[in-house]
Amino acid sequence: MKKLLPILLFLSIGCKEQYIPPVHSTNNTYLVVEGFINNGQDSTYITLSHTFTLNDTGVVQPELHAQLTVEGKDNSVYPLQEWGHGQYGATSLALNNALQYRLRIRTTAGKTYLSDFVDLKTSPPIDSINWKRTRDGVQIYANTHDPQSASHYYRWSWQETWQFHSVYFATLQWLNDQLYPLNSNPYYTCWDYAASTSVLVSSSTKLTKDVIYEYPIELISPGSWLISVRYSILVKQYVLSEDAYNFWQNMQRNTEQIGSIFSPQPSAARGNIHNVADSSEQVIGFLSAGTLQKQRIFITPDQIPNWEIGTYEVCDEFDTPLDSLYFYLHAGYNLPVDQSTSGPPGALRVNLSANTCVKCTLIGTNIKPSYWP
């Protein structure tokens, strides 16, 4: 029996074949509605797009030139403007907290969609956005509470901004096939942006108080160049109805917690938006409305213990004589950095590197955000 064991082990691990489960593919594409009706000075954003099949290699298709309005139960109507790329909105809406509101969508194909009427939910203030250095990086948290114990269901989104430098500070520039001094370098300091894509929801219904303490918002991995100069995150907080919370929690399970036999099984995430003429058509999305809260924090690398500052690219530098500059620079893959000190005395050489290592505007923008220190 002992001699048979290695043979059985070999057979069990050595004869695996790839199994691709059959997937029933359809040509159906469903309307996806993302957004929040914001009552107040902050803008309302609604994004319309379409789902695509598993084997589709294309990009997300926005729904263009639709007509969107916010409607109150008092028959008030607030049109939303098209802002491009499937996004619609209004800079501010002055709504009545005592009323319910819904969203109406009419597409260029002539289809009309309506959301259910929803209450305007008012979010309590964010108590704080804090962070901790962990072995996994920098973990950012949200904290809030409602002394009236009327909120219970919360959702968050975030927008992050980071300042960074080019890997090399250039003192020379290549212009019209000539080398010139770069007296003021506008390509060394830049900013870039990203927005949350994960579903971030939590509930206090099982607690004695309506308190959310250190809900994990975002994790920045060790050595990330996002915190190489200065990093900022703007966190937005929303209060949901129980139905909206159940929808987002279901979306969270379907998109982030599936992958093993112990994970929750996928299920349909039914929203509150419907095709007026065809109730059987599935529409992805859940419309909520109310007043949000937001808070911004900044983090610099000197605040983080044992933080190794990374760069966005591994950049090599090489030098070349002047008569070879055209060969290296005319295609635009490299840029000059500064004068080289290598080579024989009296022979002028120039240090070069990949263009993305010298010109940060190829990665981000050199326009400083208005909220930046």
Query: For 149, which DSSP code?
Result: -
Cα torsion for 324, 330, 333, 339, to the nearest 10°?
A: 40
pLDDT-based confidence at 20, cuts 50/70/90? low
Kindly write down the DSSP assignment for every residue of 190-250, as one continuous string: EEEEEE--S-EEEE-TTSSSSEEEEEEEEEE-TT-GGGSSEEEEEEEEEE--HHHHHHHHH
3-state secondary structure of 7: helix
Query: For 34, which DSSP code?
Result: E
pLDDT above 50 for 8: no
Mean pLDDT over residues 233-244, rounded? 98
Least confident of 100-114, 124-138, 192-206, 308-322: 308-322
- Top pLDDT among 77 and 4 is at 77
Residue at 122: amino acid letter: T
pLDDT on residue 255 = 81
**Pairwise CA distance, residues 288 & 299, whole Å:** 32
- Top pLDDT among 71 and 331 is at 71
pLDDT above 70 for 73: yes
DSSP H or E run through 338: strand 334-340
How many Å separate Cα 291 from the centre of its chain?
21
